[in-house]
Amino acid sequence: MTDHQQARIEADPRVPIIRIVRDFAATPAQLYRAHTDPALYARWVGPNDITTRIDHWDCRTGGSWAFSNVRGDESYSFHGCFHEISPTRLVQTFTFDGWPDGVSLETLTSRTRRGRAADHALPAPIVVSELEAAADQAS
Amino acid sequence: MTTDQLSRTFAALADPTRRDLVARLSLGDATLTELAAPYTMSLQAVSKHLTVLERAGLVSRGKEAQRKPVHLQPAVLEPVTDWLETYRRRAEERYQRLDAVLAELAETDPHDTRGENR
């Protein structure tokens, strides 16, 4: 899968937004499921050396979420709201409970990449996922 | 390299004139007069910017009495690149874990994977 694009981070020079772009060998439906099913989400959200425990999960437009990263006695908790949940666009907020004044707004969009000959050699359509995060710098 | 040095580097680069000076010095050494030539600001103002860069270790100034060429210390920029790369790598690691989950979904629901591009 060497023609897959690795995670690329772009910073918008005009507004405080970073954009992470990444290719996946999957269907939009699979990507959506991996983001919205709490058992699947907990398996990949990471980081690598820590366990994710879902504390609350109400994945619908207007819903909310909370999870903790746990390693031995250490625990770091996070929470946010699901602002929009649709098959190709997820909009949610993200706050580290250790810094409750800070909140970032994350928009995940996915689209199917087509037209390149190389794509057809792959076992599944490639979905391009773009995560936009706008940080609110609490002052 | 301590976080403190990283803070000094970012503080020194948090000014468009100083970033411009760094960009020009990356092409080669230059004197204060040469560096100041394109700007409307005074020689003293440019010299002040160079002092900030010098204190952060980004540039050094030659000792020769007349020319005192300014020299870029590119090694100081490496920790900046490393610091940024940490975050890109963290994102890539996360998406590789997601790749594994997606591969499993493809196995349990093969029809879903043979869709649009076939």
What is the per-residue pLDDT across A90-132, written as a single tens digit (0 to 9) for each? 999 999 999 998 888 899 988 887 634 333 334 445 566 677 7
Fill in the amino acid letter for A132: E
Domain edges within chain B: 3-73, 78-113
The whole-angstrom distance between A65's CA and the closest CA on chain B is 19
Fill in the amino acid letter for A5: Q
Among candidates B88, B103, B117 on the partner chain, residue whose Cβ is nearest the Cβ of A125: B117
**Which residues in A have their CB inside 8 Å of a CB on B?**
6-9, 20, 22, 24-27, 29-31, 33-34, 40, 43-48, 112, 114, 119-120, 122-126
User: Quick one: fold of B3-73?
Assistant: Arc Repressor Mutant, subunit A (1.10.10)
Nearest to B58 by CA among B11, B108, B112: B11
- Chain B contact probe: residue of A6, A27, A43 with most B CBs at under 10 A: A27
> Is the pTM value of this prediction over 0.80?
no
What is the per-residue pLDDT across B61-105, written as a single tens digit (0 to 9) for each? 987 666 789 999 999 999 888 988 888 898 899 999 999 999 999
Domain edges within chain A: 8-136
Phi, psi angles (nearest 5°) of residue A11: -105, 130
CA dist., res. B8 & res. B66, Å (int): 29
Question: Where do the H-state alpha helices sit in B1-118?
Answer: 3-13, 16-25, 32-36, 43-55, 78-108, 110-113
Which positions in chain A touch B106 (Cβ < 8 Å)? 25-26, 30, 123-124
Inter-chain CB proximity B101 and A6 less than 8 Å: no
CATH 3.30.530.20 fits A8-136, yes or no: yes
What is the per-residue pLDDT across B14-25, written as a single tens digit (0 to 9) for each? 999 999 999 999
- B48-71 as b/e, with b when 16 or more CB fall inside 10 Å? ebbebbbebebbebeeeeeeebbe
Q: ipTM score here?
A: 0.82
Inter-chain CB proximity B106 and A30 less than 8 Å: yes
What is the per-residue pLDDT across A50-60, written as a single tens digit (0 to 9) for each? 999 999 999 99
Confidence of residue B113 (pLDDT cuts 50, 70, 90): very low
CA angle B51, B53, B59 (to 5 degrees): 100
Residues recorded for chain A: 139
